[in-house]
């Protein structure tokens, strides 16, 4: 089977989330893995690349992030719409087979111990930058990106190719109530 | 002239930026107004609504935010592509007529002393929540949303209507090098 996943240079990692997609957050600790959806994730720095993500105190994934000090931010696709909604609404606390019910399969990447969600378009492995005040007061977590990968069918040579890829690869942008927009047309400034 | 701008209830203000658009940041202090573009802005809380935005130390707008303790986050449209790119690349420090060159006209909203960029689709007036460590270490600013407005031709009754509005109203999602994507098609989860 052809492998379409290639690593992305860290200095271009911010481009994977610069357009503001809804993301999936995965983490594992002590044999437990979980995945949640997060609309509130954002780039924070270029070099070293950093990002922020808001993790509610009720989220089991947050506990895994706090205990393990690491997590993965990944960019789900239109093909993963129901998966994204499901991991965002089911809780591991009362649904032990949450990931199976949601159809989320975890894979490994070379050189990483983290759990990555299969079928996404891009993945950012992060090391937690501990900031207890932000985490406690705002549910705000900072991660330093230590590894990045993308599926070459939609991101290659540092560029998204949403305009030429199958529309099922487009990123999801959540509003509310199960309602999303897919990313749309490419446009370039003449300034 | 018909007024299309209506206030948005604060509990629905997060929806104005939940889909991750590139935004414009405006601020004024002591008679000086400025506008910059920011791809790194993100919702942080629902109630009271809060958001984060990354403001580089070189940005004149950052200084105005720090001095005045307030700012406006607004959502530019495809029709404002060149305006957005221009306010993101020109600096008030060496281009005193930056706003004129960029074609950015500032307007007022009823009940606010802030400067708002005309022609955007949505506006969030913010009070700075001072967090000196975040501001100094990460260029990360937190704002509490104290007022919100939207143009009813594209956001009405708590919902974006990108799918039925003129495509010129679509939000911009920046990648790099003057290259953006417009927001695309509406999709809803069946989960």
Cβ distance A52 to B43 less than 8 Å, yes or no, reads no
Q: Name the pLDDT band for B2 (thresholds 50, 70, 90).
A: confident
Q: Tell me, yes or no, whether A56 lies in a domain.
A: yes
Q: Tell me, yes or no, whether B189 lies in a domain.
A: no
Q: Name the pLDDT band for B191 (thresholds 50, 70, 90).
A: confident
With beta carbons less than 8 A apart as the criterion, state whether B27 and B33 touch.
yes
What is residue B30's predicted lDDT score, i.e. its pLDDT? 95
Q: Tell me, yes or no, whether B190 lies in a domain.
A: no
How far is A118 from A51, CA to CA, in rounded Å?
A: 21
Of residues B40, B159, B188, nearest to A42 (C-beta): B40
Please count the structural domains in chain B.
Answer: 1
Structural domain of residue A115, as residue ranges?
A: 5-182
Q: Name the pLDDT band for A61 (thresholds 50, 70, 90).
A: very high
pLDDT, one tens digit per residue, over A66-99 is 999 999 999 999 999 999 999 999 999 899 999 9
Cβ distance A181 to B181 less than 8 Å, yes or no, reads no
Interface pTM, i.e. ipTM: 0.96
Q: Name the pLDDT band for A1 (thresholds 50, 70, 90).
A: low
Cβ distance A18 to B41 less than 8 Å, yes or no, reads no
Give the E-state strand segments of B14-111 in sequence order. Answer: 23-29, 32-38, 41-46, 49-54, 70-75, 106-107
pLDDT, one tens digit per residue, over B13-49 is 999 999 999 999 999 999 999 999 999 999 999 999 9
Q: Tell me, yes or no, whether A76 lies in a domain.
A: yes
Q: What value does the mean pLDDT take over residues A129-156?
A: 98
Q: Name the pLDDT band for A111 (thresholds 50, 70, 90).
A: confident
User: Domain with A108 in it: what CATH number?
Assistant: 2.30.110.10
Find, among A167, A39, A189, the residue nearest to B76 by Cα.
A189
B31 Cβ contact list (under 8 Å, min separation 6): none
Of residues B15, B175, B191, nearest to A160 (C-beta): B175
């Amino acid at each position: 089977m052809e492998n379409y996943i290639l690593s992305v240079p860290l200095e271009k990692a911010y481009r994977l989330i610069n357009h503001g997609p809804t993301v999936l957050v995965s983490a594992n600790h002590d044999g437990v893995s979980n995945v949640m959806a997060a609309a509130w994730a954002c780039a924070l720095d270029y070099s070293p690349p950093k990002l922020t993500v808001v993790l509610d105190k009720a989220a089991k994934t947050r506990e895994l992030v706090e205990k393990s000090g690491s997590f993965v931010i990944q960019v789900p696709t239109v093909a993963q719409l129901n998966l994204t909604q499901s991991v965002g609404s089911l809780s591991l606390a009362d649904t032990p087979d949450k990931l199976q019910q949601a159809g989320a399969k975890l894979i490994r990447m070379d050189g990483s111990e983290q759990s990555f969600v299969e079928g996404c378009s891009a993945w950012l492995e992060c090391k937690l930058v501990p900031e207890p005040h932000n985490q406690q007061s705002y549910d705000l977590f900072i991660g330093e990106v230590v590894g990045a990968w993308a599926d070459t069918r939609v991101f290659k040579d540092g560029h998204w190719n949403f305009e030429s890829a199958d529309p099922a690869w487009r990123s999801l942008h959540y509003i509310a109530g199960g309602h999303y927009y897919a990313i749309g047309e490419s446009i370039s400034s003449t300034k």
